[in-house]
Amino acid sequence: MALIENETGAQRTLGYVLDVSRGDGRARCMLTVTEAHANRHGVLHGGIAALLLDNAMGATGSLTVDDTGRTPFLTISLATSFVGPAHVGQRLTATGQVAGGGKSLLFIEARLEADDGALIATATGVFKRVPREKMDRGGDA
């Protein structure tokens, strides 16, 4: 399994992992919920759920041009629907899937599910590949 771990500050801080190795064009973003991820109600904070979905979709976009899943894609828009709670101790997986697009933009959707199959949240997004010249000079995209 090809995992992307500890690559960004967000990954190191929150502890999520990206799996880009399944060969089906879908990236998976995984996290085991801890107290550090909980909101004041003791369940997964919605912002972290959105982050997991966003990462799964961005890496899924990357897989359309790069088997390593590391080519950067920018999130142009993101719509998230929260369906159910995730509790401390649950292992979650967000899975992205390309729904459409063309040369410049990809439309990607994702589902965030607990290991027991419970649906936690869904999202749709529009993503754009970071222009090569932005990658080469290391500038902000």
Topology of domain 3-137, CATH: Thiol Ester Dehydrase; Chain A (3.10.129)
pLDDT digits (tens, 9 = 90+) for 36-90: 999 999 999 999 999 999 999 999 999 999 999 999 999 999 999 999 999 999 9
Q: Is 64 exposed, middle or buried (0-12, 13-18, 19+ CB in 10 A)?
A: middle
**Domain spans, the chain:** 3-137
pLDDT at res. 141: 41
pLDDT at res. 101: 95
pTM comes to 0.92
Averaged over 102-124, what is the pLDDT? Answer: 96
**Res 140 pLDDT > 50:** no
pLDDT at res. 85: 98
